[in-house]
Structures are given as structure tokens and as C-alpha cells.
Chain A
């Protein structure tokens, strides 16, 4: 039996390449244990990306909105707890003002191979239903194959002026 190695791994460098392919230049981030070493640390080391470290997740929504008026593409990177914290900003700025806010949300504790809505973690289970209620398109990024969905999702968000969420379902390495 041939094992599909791409199904068992998610590389932070692949995510970074995918963001760059969609002309993302700025990352607005609050550290998240889920994406800390595999993604955020690599972003910090990448001299071609501008990393802005913020204190609270809702700041990223305002900054990203402001950047979009200068045609600067950004990713808001935080954990699902931060997504829940920033809910009002996401509702008001991203959804009601139809802004191209692209969120990358770490699903800390989600079991690889298990759908987010089936996770044992309550906080993880409610993320997709909340996004659905907000009308925000979302994609689960859990392996190398999934990474291919990142560039078109960013292009659509900026092309159609609407928010989007990428759910990081496995710890990037």
C-alpha cells in the first residue's frame, strides 16, 4: 500500500509560499501555540514579509482594513480563541463593511483527520458554525494538498471585497 505522505503533514513554508503567491506582504499576528514554531517563527525569519505583532486580535481587523485601502494584502494570524475574542470587529468591519479580511485561524487541539465540528474541544467545534452564521467563506488547511486552496481564497476575498477564513487544522512543521 502506498501511503500518501502529503496527507500527514503541513509545512509552514508551504503556507508562506501560498500566501506570497497571492501577493500577501503583511502578516498581522498574535502568537498561537498551534502555529508558533512551524509558521509564525518562519514568517518572522522571512525578510520578504512584514510581520506586525499586535497585542489583541481585533487590532488585526482594523489594521488589515486600513492596509486594504492602499492595495496592501495582509493575513490576520491568530488562534481560534482570538477569533472568538475579535468577533465584534469581524462582524462589524469584515462582514458588515464588506472588507477583504483574510484570517488564518489556528485550531489548537483539533485532532488531525477529525472534522472541526467533530472535535472533542468545544471551542474548536463552534468555529465553523459561527463562520457559517457570519456568512464567511472558510477552508480547512490540514495537509499539503489543502494548501493549494490558499491563493485562490485570498484572490477571491480581495477581488470580491469580502472576508475569508483559513482554518489551520494541524500544527505546521
Chain B
């Protein structure tokens, strides 16, 4: 089983110009170690992370989009697997952190903890899927995750993270959305969003 923070730390070392769409517990963990304008946080509508990511991937075909999805979140929007493969964006990577629980909502188990999301994604038509549960395999797969043509689907079997209330207030601020927009579409006068993100 993988340690989510260790995996996120390895992503942080490699990620540069990619868009990261993150949601709920993984989003707070990612933000804690990688606060950058190209982070996109979806909120308030559990399950839609991959839909946001799909729109971004279409809108920015020259930029890789990594969706950090939750297993409970994906179950709320399983049809998105089919929608995504119908569009088939080459720059889209769907990463599901599978801990078997609704971690953000108290750690209650999913209706079934034995579901294999990579198999669902393969059946939906993803170009390539991975099911990873140990660190050596994760480390050896990072190059492919960050470079191969998509749509890719990566299921990471992780331990449950920290339970308890997490603060999402700053993550969902209008300032962050504006910084993200400017990072993707710099003003023609060359100016940049100058304010702090927090």
C-alpha cells in the first residue's frame, strides 16, 4: 500500500507546467507541499474533478492535465469515464487515490471496497490504465504517467490519510481562480498576478 504524502512528494519533484486538478483530502495534502498557480481546486460538487479536468484538457491541448481524484468522488461521477474516453484528450491523466473510504467525510467505507477502478477505466476505453500498490512500481511508473499519451488512468492504492476537519477556505478563494486564469492566459501587457496566493 502506498503512502499518499510520499507519492505527492515525488509528483512535486517532477511537475512543472502541468495543470493539477485536485479534490478534497488529496487537494489539501497537495496544496500543503505544492502551492502553485497551476493548481485548480474544484469544490462543492463532489465527483466533478475529472469533468473540470476534461474541460481544461480540451481548452489547453498543449498542457498536460493531471486530475487527482478520490475513489468516493469518482463513484459519484462514474459516467465521466465514458465521457472522457469519447473525447479522448491526449493530455489527460486521471489519477485516483484509492483508500476505500470517504476520507473527507469521516472515513466511512465505500459501499464496496473491492472495486478495481483501473478495470472500470479500461472497460470504458482509456488508452492505458495502471493499478499500483507499492512504491517501487509507482516510482518506475512516474515517467509514463508524466509523459505518455492519454487518456491515461492510474489507480493508486493508498493508506487512509488524516481524518478530521480540514480547512478548504483559502483553497477555494476567488484569488486562486484568478491566479490560475492568469497563469494559463497571461495578460497581453505582460503583467502577472502579483498578490500572494494565501
Q: List residues of A whose CB falls within 8 A of some B CB.
A: 26, 52-56, 58-72, 88-89, 91-93, 96-98
In the assembled complex, which residues on chain B have CB atoms less than 8 Å from the CB atom of A60?
A: 51
**Residues B43 and A61 in contact, CB atoms below 8 Å apart:** no
Contacts known (A55-B82, A70-B56, A70-B60); A62 close to B181, Cβ less than 8 A: no
Q: How far is the CA of A104 from the CA of B48 in the complex (A)?
A: 20
The secondary structure that dominates the A interface is helix
Beyond A56-B77, A62-B52, A63-B55, 17 additional contacts (C-beta under 8 Å) are A52-B86, A53-B86, A54-B83, A58-B45, A58-B48, A62-B42, A65-B52, A65-B55, A66-B55, A66-B56, A67-B56, A68-B59, A69-B40, A69-B60, A70-B56, A70-B60, A89-B48
Contacts of B47 in A (CB 8 A): 58
Bound CA–CA A147/B40 (angstroms): 35
- Among residues of B, the one whose C-beta sits closest to the C-beta of A99 is B177
In the bound complex, how far is the Cα of B51 from the Cα of A171, in angstroms? Answer: 29
Q: Which residues on B are within 8 Å of A, measured CB to CB?
A: 40, 42-45, 47-60, 77, 79-80, 82-83, 86-87, 172, 174, 177, 180-181, 184-185
User: Are A92 and B174 neighbours in the complex by a CB distance under 8 Å?
Assistant: no
Whether the Cβ atoms of B83 and A69 lie closer than 8 Å is no
For B57, list chain A residues within 8 Å (CB): 66
Q: When the two chains form their complex, are residues A62 and B55 in contact, meaning their CB atoms are under 8 A apart?
A: yes
Summarize B's interface: helix, strand, loop or mixed. Answer: helix
> Is the beta-carbon distance between A69 and B184 smaller than 8 angstroms?
yes
Q: Which residues of B contact A96 (CB under 8 A)?
A: 44
Interface pair A72/B59, CB less than 8 Å apart: yes
Q: Which of B54, B77, B86 contacts A66 (CB 8 A)?
A: B54
Q: A88-B45, A93-B45 are contacts. A66–B83 as well, Cβ < 8 Å? A: no
Q: How far is A92 from B172 in the complex, measured between Cα atoms in Å? A: 11
Q: Which chain A residue lies CB-closest to B183? A: A69
How many contacts between A and B, using CB within 8 angstroms? Answer: 105
Contacts A56-B79, A69-B56 known; A63 to B51 CB distance under 8 Å? yes
- A98: chain B residues at CB < 8 Å are 174
Given A63-B55, A65-B52: A92 in contact with B77 (beta carbons within 8 A): no
Closest to B185 in A: A71
- The answer to whether B52 and A92 touch across the interface, beta carbons within 8 angstroms, is no
CA of A96 to CA of B45, assembled, Å:
11
Closest to A86 in B: B45
B56 / chain A contacts, CB cutoff of 8 Å: 66-67, 69-70
What residues of chain A lie closer than 8 Å to B174, measured between beta carbons?
97-98
Look across to chain A and name the residue whose beta carbon is closest to the beta carbon of B59.
A70
Q: Is the CB of B83 within 8 A of A59?
A: yes
Q: Which residues of A contact B53 (CB under 8 A)?
A: 66
Of chain B, the residue at the smallest CB distance from A98 is: B174
- Residue contacts A-B, CB under 8 angstroms, 22 given: A53-B83, A54-B79, A56-B79, A58-B45, A59-B83, A61-B48, A64-B55, A65-B52, A66-B57, A66-B59, A69-B55, A69-B56, A69-B181, A69-B184, A71-B185, A72-B58, A88-B45, A89-B44, A92-B44, A92-B45, A97-B172, A97-B174
Residues of chain A within 8 A (CB-CB) of B59 are 66-72
The 10 closest A-B pairs by CB, nearest first: A66-B55, A70-B59, A92-B44, A55-B79, A62-B51, A62-B48, A66-B56, A63-B55, A89-B45, A67-B55
Minimal beta-carbon separation of A100 from chain B (angstroms): 12
